[in-house]
């Protein structure tokens, strides 16, 4: 039987958002309101039908698992209050009958792997999505940021379970979407599922809650023994339990027999500015890794579709691009003429494109209109371009945004 729904509007910082609402009777017999985020624009009939199906599936999952969305009663007012956002990943995976890893059913099962968390923090949890992080989308970044913004005054910190493959992208997105963040938002995951004898899921989940309760601010990645600034994180290994490294800046801290926090770690401010939400992203951005001899006509063909809004060139060395045979300079000029910003990063691990003017092959690219990403990670540079394009299509303004430091993502 179809559920009864209605569309509601919520105003957040002067911006209007649309939700699809219905009521759900939980396991205790109490009626609860369940909402599904639609977007910043009113839905057409096709989108409305799709969202109704999604909401019906969400209700079925709630009925089956009795409590994906759960706000617990505060057992101990002295414990820090933490909100866990369930977003899937290996840490939230189980094996099916084919011994294949598939997303687990709910956050309640995830927390069951570490019951001692209840002695460390007073934790609530909410379901955002349950996907392999390879399927992560900008609309989910927007949803996470909005949920944190709406819940900001009710919690001391936030934890997000996430797959490792795109964790650095999500961390970068949240660090930009949540301006003036004065509380910790900690992303964590695992290399091995909870049922593996050698799993890192248990310890990472506990430590992320410990970090979220500390006197820290900003978006962080907690993985293995390392605590890293989120928008400087890069995944370096598919097998190491310390799967992430920090790009060009020291780690925020280290997990040992005690948690060791660096002296320069960002602490909570006594008089912080008001939290600001900027959670829109432009999807039509392409990242291209340069190859020796790559045909520049590929780029021209993509530009001619009229759909591309911006692209990232992952270049050689210090931001160098071909200028002789198969020169990319005409492609950069063509993009600029079409009002498409071109941001140049480097393929070098630990490298930057801050010195593009050093060599002629970099200088010519800048002269043609390329924007150096400087010392941002390739992941953060791509996300920041998507974020900038959601605010303006003016290339000069985009360049200013790309080179402005919002949350420690760029220093030179």
Give me 188's structure tokens. 């964590």
As a whole number of angstroms, the distance between CA 103 and CA 269 comes to 38
Q: Given the DSSP bridges, would you call strands 101-103 and 157-161 parallel, antiparallel or unpaired?
A: unpaired
As a whole number of angstroms, the distance between CA 299 and CA 131 comes to 31
What is the separation of C-alpha 57 from the centre of its chain, rounded to a whole number of angstroms?
Answer: 25
What is the DSSP code string of 115-183? GGGGGT-EEEEEEEEEE-GGG--HHHHHHHHHHHHHHGGG-SEEEEE--STTHHHHHHHHHHHEET--S
Q: Is the dihedral of CA 400, 405, 407, 412 positive or negative?
A: positive
> Does residue 129 carry a catalytic annotation?
no
What are the phi and psi torsion angles at 370 (to 5°)? -70, 150
As a whole number of angstroms, the distance between CA 220 and CA 228 comes to 6
What are the phi and psi torsion angles at 29 (to 5°)? 90, 0
As a whole number of angstroms, the distance between CA 77 and CA 74 comes to 6
Do the beta carbons of residue 103 and residue 91 sit within 8 Å? no
SS3 category, 213: coil
Q: Given the DSSP bridges, would you call strands 93-95 and 157-161 parallel, antiparallel or unpaired?
A: unpaired
Q: Which of 337, 322, 118 is nearest to 209 (CA)?
A: 118
Block residue for tokens 């045979």: 325
As a whole number of angstroms, the distance between CA 289 and CA 122 comes to 45
Q: Which of 213, 219, 259 is nearest to 76 (CA)?
A: 213
Q: What is the dihedral of CA 248, 275, 209, 387, to 10 degrees?
A: -50
Give me 337's structure tokens. 């003429």
Task: Determine which one of 164, 188, 352, 377 is catalytic.
Answer: 164
Catalytic residues: 164
């Amino acid at each position: 039987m179809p559920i009864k729904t209605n569309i509601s509007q919520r105003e957040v910082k002067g911006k209007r958002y649309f939700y699809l609402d219905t009521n759900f009777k939980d396991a205790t017999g109490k009626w609860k309101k369940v909402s599904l985020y639609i977007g910043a624009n009113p839905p057409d009939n096709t989108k409305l039908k799709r969202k109704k199906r999604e909401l019906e599936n969400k209700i079925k999952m709630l009925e089956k698992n009795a409590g994906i969305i759960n706000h617990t009663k505060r057992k101990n007012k002295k414990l820090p209050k933490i909100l866990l956002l369930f977003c899937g990943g290996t840490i939230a995976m189980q094996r099916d009958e084919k011994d294949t890893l598939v997303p687990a059913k709910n956050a309640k099962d995830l927390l069951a792997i570490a019951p001692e968390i209840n002695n460390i923090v007073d934790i609530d949890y909410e379901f955002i999505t349950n996907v392999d992080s390879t399927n992560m989308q900008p609309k989910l970044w927007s949803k996470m940021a909005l949920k944190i913004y709406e819940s900001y005054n009710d919690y001391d910190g936030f934890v997000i379970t996430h797959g490792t493959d795109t964790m650095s992208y999500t961390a970068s997105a949240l660090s930009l979407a949540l301006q003036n963040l004065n509380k910790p938002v900690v992303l964590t995951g695992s290399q091995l599922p909870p049922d593996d004898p050698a799993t890192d899921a248990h310890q990472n989940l506990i430590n992320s809650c410990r970090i979220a309760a500390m006197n820290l601010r900003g978006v962080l990645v907690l993985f293995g023994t390392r605590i890293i600034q989120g928008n400087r994180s890069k995944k370096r290994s598919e097998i190491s339990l310390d799967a992430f490294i920090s790009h060009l800046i020291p780690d925020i801290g280290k997990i040992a027999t005690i948690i060791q926090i660096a002296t320069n770690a960002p602490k909570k401010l006594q008089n912080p500015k008001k939290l600001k939400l900027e959670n829109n992203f432009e999807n039509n951005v392409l990242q291209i890794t340069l190859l020796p001899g790559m045909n520049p006509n590929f780029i021209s063909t993509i530009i001619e579709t009229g759909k591309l809004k911006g692209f990232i060139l992952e270049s050689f060395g210090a931001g160098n691009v071909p200028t002789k045979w198969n020169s990319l300079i005409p492609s950069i000029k063509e993009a600029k003429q079409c009002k498409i910003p071109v941001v140049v990063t480097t393929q070098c691990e630990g490298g930057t494109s801050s010195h593009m003017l050093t060599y002629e092959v970099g200088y010519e690219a800048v002269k043609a209109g390329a924007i150096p990403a400087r010392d941002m990670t390739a992941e953060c540079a791509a996300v920041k371009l998507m974020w900038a394009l959601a605010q303006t299509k003016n290339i000069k303004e985009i360049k200013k945004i790309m080179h402005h430091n919002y949350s420690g993502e760029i220093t030179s």
